Copies of this chain bind each other. A is one copy, B any other.
Amino acid sequence: MRGDGVTVQSSAPMPVIGGSTRLYAVLGHPVSQVRAPGMMNRLFAELASDAVLFPVLVAPGDLGEVVRGLQRIGNLDGLLVTIPHKVDVCRYADAVSEAATLAGSANALRREPDGSWTAENFDGAGFVRGLRAAGIDPAGRRVALVGAGGAGSAVAAALLTEGVAHLELCDRDEARLAEVAHRLAPRFPGRVSWSTAPRLEAADLAVNATPLGLRPADPLPFDVARLAPGAVVADIVMRPKETALLRAAAERGHPVHPGSPMLTSQLDLYRTFFRLGDARLPDARGHAFD
């Protein structure tokens, strides 16, 4: 991925907006940090899709009014959603996917051909896809996942769906932990356990899904000295690219996996979800038979 960061790239290919351009928005508060406009608009340009994605700054109290207004726009086809709206936005969907239901949150909504709206969550699938692209198949592994917030529960649900042998979920917030665990455990019987302190010894994949590591002064989210030799350490923190956790793990000889692929791997998933590939097919076919 190019365009990591908020710098304006005047040479980046961007959609040319006309009266027939289809619309997508990314909703957040704040929203200035989002990478979706750069990623998606480059994708639209590459696909020659007459579409554009723009950032929407929306305060939590205004989410309903803004989403309902956007959903009434005839040429608006989809929404991406970031902090702090991922949980609340599910209220404005007519259908919520299994991944979003298990995660308890959504990061994408699309308009269906019948005009209804479906909510999806690609955070977990993006994480798994990023792992696989790096040669790390989570299937059959024993995973310790630290952090049961929005991103953590999405990653937990995707790892279980993708066949990890066992998931040990850890969060200091006992109420939040219990809520996520009780959502996941019945769906994946015998494969989920949880505790308020990290249990790392049996893991062959340990994942940080807390925000710890964003700031230089943050403590490590867990103690790498307690990991089994050869256990993979993955972080969902994207900046810095090499977090203190990953540095400490690498120093002890563990394979490490950074945070960025979780986001960049979602681009293909968005493309499929928003049907960007097939959007132009009917026209192309029509021309072929003309």
Write the nearest CB–CB distance from A76 to chain B, whole angstroms: 8
- Check A17 for interface membership: any CB of B closer than 8 A: yes
- Check A238 for interface membership: any CB of B closer than 8 A: no
Within 8 A of B (CB), among A55-86: 55-59, 62, 65-70, 72-76
Please indicate the chain B residues that have their CB under 8 angstroms from the CB of A34 in the complex: 19
- Check A53 for interface membership: any CB of B closer than 8 A: yes
Please indicate the chain B residues that have their CB under 8 angstroms from the CB of A220 in the complex: none
Q: A9-B16, A12-B16, A19-B32 are in contact. Are A66 and B57 (CB under 8 A)?
A: no
- Copies of this chain per assembly: 2
A–B pairs, 16, beta carbons within 8 Å: A6-B18, A8-B16, A14-B16, A17-B41, A18-B37, A19-B34, A19-B55, A55-B75, A57-B75, A58-B73, A58-B74, A62-B72, A65-B69, A65-B72, A66-B72, A69-B69
Please indicate the chain B residues that have their CB under 8 angstroms from the CB of A72 in the complex: 58-59, 62, 65-66, 69
Of all chain B residues, the one with the shortest Cβ separation from A75 is B57
Please indicate the chain B residues that have their CB under 8 angstroms from the CB of A33 in the complex: 19
What is the bound-complex CA distance between A19 and B33, given in angstroms?
A: 6
Identify which of B15, B31, B69 contacts A19 (C-beta below 8 A): B31
Cβ contacts A18-42/B at 8 Å (1 or 0 each): 1111010000010111110110010
Write the nearest CB–CB distance from A121 to chain B, whole angstroms: 21
- Check A52 for interface membership: any CB of B closer than 8 A: yes
Identify which of B12, B54, B69 contacts A68 (C-beta below 8 A): B69
